[in-house]
Structure 1
Amino acid sequence: MPGHTPSSAPGIKGAVPALVLGLILAFAVVLAYWQAPLNGFHFDDEANIVDRAAIHLTELSLAGLWRAAREGLLPSRPLSNVSLAIDWWRGGGSAATFIRSNIVLHLLMALAVWSCVRRLLLLQGQPRAPALGLAWGAALLWALHPIQVQAVTYVVQRMAELSALFSLLSVLAYVRGRTERRLAWLVLSLVTFLLSVAAKENGWITPALWWLAEFGCCRGQASKLLEHPASRLLFALPFLLLLYVVVDIASGQGPLAQSGMLSYRGRDFTMAERLLTQPRVIVFHLSQMLWPLPDRFSVEHDFLKSTGLFSPATTLAALLGLLAWCGTGLVALLHQRWRLAGFWLLWVPVTLVVESSVVPLEMVFEHRMYLPSVGLFGLAATLPTVWLPGTGHRKVALPLVLLVAIGLILATRERVEVWRDNASLYADAVRHAPNSGRAWNGLGAAQLQAGDIEAAERSLTRAMALDPTLSAPPEKLGVIVLDRGERQKAGELLWRAVRLERSHSALNHLGEWMLQGDDVDGAVRAFSQAVVLAPWLPAYRWNLALALERQGNCAEAREQWQAYLERETDPAGLEEVRRHLEETGASSHCN
């Protein structure tokens, strides 16, 4: 049965401290991220926003929003796509508009953390004032921690923010629905869960958080959680599902194994290596949380993959440490006094299970701690109530929180400045990860964009030497030497890039090389493949149309020009193509 319901909301007098604390929280977040709107777009922002015509909303309409939802780069995330399209409409494509919205979402998430931690402390039987203060301190430090910078200032991580926000709200609504026995809250929990999934696939973990809340929060201080058979079955359910997933993947014959979601093609690590490495990655992120010096954060890390339990030697220790963390959480969950601490302990591994297990994502990315880190600060707010059940902790809590908050603000502001543009971001990345081909490739791309060709060539050459499996460095180097007139070397580099990965950009550049060498048929084939892979990019339509005209295929060329007109938003480009079509419309020759 649900535990006791906290008393009703405080009156006006009781709401004043909460309002003051809320204003302080908002001020601190704004102060920490004050310079963030000066930052620009980065890597995945290009494909998801800058180059995605469906996101370029010029008039707010249901048809435009529907198109953005369906035709975003990731149509499985319609809510995120719609929010990005609205920001494009609001700011005309300015990165500042997107980043300001991310900051607002981050503040809303902080308020949700405050509300959730406070609610759970009240359910534990804590007095209203200490619960309010402890929860506020947890939310403040969570919001200001520099590990959140990647999620807030990297625009496309709007998806992680939205998913985390709605997932947390769903858990909060579930707890209220169960403890207050009100159907409306349970319906709201379901709705916010669906919104979380519509923002990012991580939202599917929310039912596991309901389960965790059921046993960690909603059953009050019952001494025996598993007294009834139904309770024992419900408690065993996620472990049975986990066993099913393990059997599915290990057999290679189950729906998950056959779905293609777990394909490691193009990765330089296997599933086993990822599973062995992730405990070390998680320990590393936990160490970042505990010791958040700005220099410990980066968009790239030189992280040695684990190839066995003792290679490197810390692999087994990290795995045992993670198992001990989970075991401690389960034991605490079943202990009457430590139940809420167990809830927060298990929150971390449960929310990491999607991105830190078998899904073939990059090994390390700090934004993955956005929702999991809530558990650490919830635990920090809960432990004083267990270890120091009296009032002794209150005298030192506020000064300590404020002192830590000042340090976190300074660290976050420093990290925000690093994310100013790709040049500053990757200059920092190669300093942290000098052996990362990805980092040097990113720096080379930034230098190329800035017009520093010599520096770009050096960085890209180093990237290619460090990681010969990357297709981007030879592609960019091919473009550089082609512009210098070194056609043979350019061809070698571009063909190498295409063989490594048939990306749309590599195929497009190969087509340009072919067209310059009068291999019109080859250019048409390359441009056609680029269009198939990235049909939303108008530049590829332009190139294909020109190649088709040189081939004498006027009808198909006109189709590509029309497709260009439907996707391009640049007025100069639109006018040039319309004029070209008018000039060639009455002629039997289109070239």
Structure 2
Amino acid sequence: MQASLSASWIWPALALLAILTLTWWVYHPGLSGGFLFDDFANLPAIGASGPVTHWATFWRYITSGMADPTGRPLTLLTFLIDARNWPASPYPFKLTNVILHLCNGLLLYALLVRLGMLLDVDARRARIAAWFGCGAWLLHPLLLSTTLYIVQREAMLPATCVLAGLLLWLHGRACLRDGHLKSGPAWMIAGLGGFTLLGTLAKANGALLPMYALLIELLVLMPRHVMQSLASQRTNRVIVALFCAVPAFAILGYLAWKGVLGSIHGGHAGARPWSIGQRLLTEPRVLVDYLKLLWIPRPFTSGLFNDQFAVSTSWLHPASTLPCLLAVLALIGGAWWQRRRHPALALALLFYFAGQSLESSSIPLELYFEHRNYIPALLMFWPLGLWLADLRTLRLAKIMLLAVIPLLLAGMTHARAQVWGNVRTQALIWAHINPDSPRAQANAAEVEMGHGHPQAAAARLQKLLATEPSQTQLTFNLIGARCMAGEGLRPGDMEIALTSMRSTADVGALIAHWYERMLPVASEGRCPGLTPETLLTLIDAGLQNPNLKSAGMQQDLIYLKGLTALTMHQPDLALSDFMRALDQHVRPGMALEAAATLGSYGHPSLGLRMLDHYEQVQGNAMPPSFGMAMVHEWVLSRQRYWPHELAHLKQELTEATMSNHANATPRTSTPSPCASHCTN
């Protein structure tokens, strides 16, 4: 009996160890890859106010997040495992992500075993099905773009919290069912309440944990596992109502309200080129495409570039809009209709659509990202595992499929990981797969320039510019490629760039980073046809663009005018532009950046005047937005961070002025124009 009991646990443990080892081997080639896109927007916060080596810098860093009202501090906290300052190596970050992916696989296995037992499946079949469901999820190629994209730890940590929270809740519910009226509710509340809070502090979609629990309660537990006593029944109802139903319906209500409001008012959603109504029409097509990639996987997909995904402008344009909407409704309705006959399949489908509800509905996020499948797909392959684990029929065929499917997924994911481990190959493959994506082509062009092939980069950019003339990322990189090739600007290049600046919907941080590279080139005459005066015409075109009228964007552009004036030896004009930029959106970070820049160019007395102007207008500063921004502002105030920085810079500029440094030769390199992207 004891030997039989040991064997029943040893073989599943070995099988699970094998799938985890295979996953590690599959992902290992991707660990040599680099940082990507949003990594550069988020990770430099680690060293923005100094190395995170003591409590003061720790609190400044942990409260610096700008995504979601919460700022995602739990995710920021885990980045400190990998680095305490910036710049840093990408390898430790990617390694931690892969380890977290493996831990999520372990938690998923435990949850699937538990769910299988709750469906009254025998223990052997439940473990085989859990092994398959967990293995297919761990090895699926679609999820690699979450795991190896460092910043998407934001999507992985909520999965950890969801899995741990559901396990604790199910444990507590079992205790309550057995009559433990104190420990049972404590475990349930810790699972649902505690891990919903933790998940939300990692990313907003962690708030969907109550919705997942409610689905499990309705589809699996209520029909089969009724509480044995009246007190247990009442306690369970109260906990489910307060910690499952109320949060779940509050989120659904909020999403519905946003959708109705957006559809009524119409218009574009902020800087997006589509309206909320168009987004709601488009997302069913996105969800169908996700499901195709999950069930008909392939090693190479569009990856991080989906800006070419066509927006649905009506029920029939594109033609797939209405069929996809009907398909999504049919899957949801069919799952609910078949919930008693096929509870595992119903739960997997409804779990998937619940997981997509926040990011694929009425909130104006970008239309398509592969990482949005990481949590929703947790249960996706488990129903197939339950069918394959039932070896009473088609025994040989099912055993073969249990082995072959994970190996096929592993092969595809390994091939994809090899691409993710090579920045140049990755960029070129993405550009080939996404020929109509401006982001993909601009990224490939930057990589080609980085490898000494500016002519190839220019040809790539010019080809897409014929159909995407408003894309500044194409026009700016084309100018950079021309300059790098040594041939200078061609007739029409600047006119194309001006056209894009006049019509672009948003330039984000692109213009600042591009200026950082190109202003020294223009001021030193290293690129025929590119001068500080021509760069100023680009800035002026942006200032007249009706899409770039936000205070932050206007501040960025005016700041760059001041920076250009400095390179043209017009310090008084630069000071005027810096002051005008500060008046757009009063922030201490911008004021200190401008003052320091004036000092670094040999004009410390003007830097002092810039600080004097800030002290005059600092009362016009906008209060921080609700959420973590308010906490961050409180931390900075408590530490007297800005007064200290202001006093320190004033002292340096005063000493420089007294030492007659104002007549020193201006520096030739350009400081980073942070403008509205500075730490506040």
TM-score range, shorter chain: 0.7 to 0.9
Is this contact kept in 2: 1:39–1:95, CA < 8 A? yes
Listed as ranges, the matches of 1:212-227 within 5 Å are 212-221=215-224
Which sits farther off after the overlay, 499-508 or 410-419?
499-508
Gaps (5+ residues) in structure 1?
1-9, 568-576
Which sits farther off after the overlay, 471-480 or 275-284?
471-480
SS at match of 1:89: coil
Change (3 A) 1:558 1:120: same
Percent of aligned pairs with the same amino acid: 24
Change (3 A) 1:382 1:84: same
- Counterpart for residue 401 of structure 1: 402
Deviations 1:303-340 (CA, angstroms, capped at 9, x unpaired): 2211111111111100000000110121123x2x3223
Deviations 1:435-477 (CA, angstroms, capped at 9, x unpaired): 1222222223334445544444444555655434444444554
- Counterpart for residue 335 of structure 2: 329
Change (3 A) 1:248 1:456: closer
- Counterpart for residue 444 of structure 1: 445
Change (3 A) 1:252 1:23: closer
Is this contact kept in 2: 1:472–1:497, CA < 8 A? no
CA distance in 2, matches of 1:57, 1:370: 32
Which sits farther off after the overlay, 507-516 or 278-287?
507-516
Listed as ranges, the matches of 1:44-193 within 5 Å are 44-50=38-44, 52-54=46-48, 57-59=51-53, 61-74=54-67, 76-89=71-84, 93-181=88-176, 182-189=184-191, 190-193=193-196
Change (3 A) 1:211 1:67: same
Listed as ranges, the matches of 1:172-251 within 5 Å are 172-181=167-176, 182-189=184-191, 190-221=193-224, 242=252, 245-247=255-257, 249-251=259-261
* Amino acid of the structure 2 residue aligned with 1:246: A
TM score, norm. by length of structure 1: 0.82
Deviations 1:159-200 (CA, angstroms, capped at 9, x unpaired): 101012212221222222223322342133122221110100
**Max Rg structure:** 2
Gaps (5+ residues) in structure 2?
177-183, 227-232, 480-513, 615-635, 642-648, 664-680
Tell me whether 1:378 sits opposite 2:377 in the alignment: no
1:354 pairs with one of 346, 358, 367:
358
1:275 pairs with one of 273, 280, 291:
280
- Counterpart for residue 42 of structure 1: 36
Change (3 A) 1:199 1:240: closer
CA distance in 1, matches of 2:94, 2:251: 38
Is this contact kept in 1: 2:284–2:325, CA < 8 A? yes
Is this contact kept in 2: 1:42–1:422, CA < 8 A? no
1:404, CA displacement in angstroms?
A: 1.9
- Counterpart for residue 677 of structure 2: none
CA distance in 1, matches of 2:449, 2:213: 48
Which sits farther off after the overlay, 310-319 or 406-415?
406-415
1:207, CA displacement in angstroms?
A: 1.4
Is this contact kept in 1: 2:45–2:61, CA < 8 A? no
1:56, CA displacement in angstroms?
A: 6.7
- Counterpart for residue 571 of structure 1: none
Is this contact kept in 2: 1:77–1:199, CA < 8 A? yes
Is this contact kept in 2: 1:440–1:462, CA < 8 A? no
- Counterpart for residue 414 of structure 1: 415
- Counterpart for residue 570 of structure 1: none
Tell me whether 1:313 sits opposite 2:308 in the alignment: no
1:584 pairs with one of 644, 656, 661:
656
TM score, norm. by length of structure 2: 0.72
CA distance in 2, matches of 1:111, 1:55: 37
1:37, CA displacement in angstroms?
A: 1.6
Is this contact kept in 2: 1:80–1:198, CA < 8 A? yes
CA distance in 2, matches of 1:546, 1:91: 22
- Counterpart for residue 369 of structure 2: 365
* Amino acid of the structure 1 residue aligned with 2:149: Y
Which sits farther off after the overlay, 122-131 or 454-463?
454-463
Is this contact kept in 1: 2:353–2:376, CA < 8 A? yes
Change (3 A) 1:416 1:542: farther
1:27 pairs with one of 21, 32, 41:
21
Change (3 A) 1:434 1:360: same
Q: Aligned-pair RMSD on alpha carbons?
A: 4.0
Change (3 A) 1:291 1:252: closer
- Counterpart for residue 549 of structure 1: 603
Is this contact kept in 2: 1:137–1:401, CA < 8 A? yes
CA distance in 2, matches of 1:536, 1:130: 62
SS at match of 2:28: coil
Is this contact kept in 1: 2:39–2:150, CA < 8 A? yes
- Counterpart for residue 527 of structure 2: 484
CA distance in 2, matches of 1:322, 1:192: 29
Change (3 A) 1:505 1:162: farther
Which sits farther off after the overlay, 546-555 or 154-163?
546-555
Change (3 A) 1:339 1:465: same
CA distance in 1, matches of 2:473, 2:402: 45
Is this contact kept in 1: 2:146–2:155, CA < 8 A? yes
* Amino acid of the structure 2 residue aligned with 1:318: C
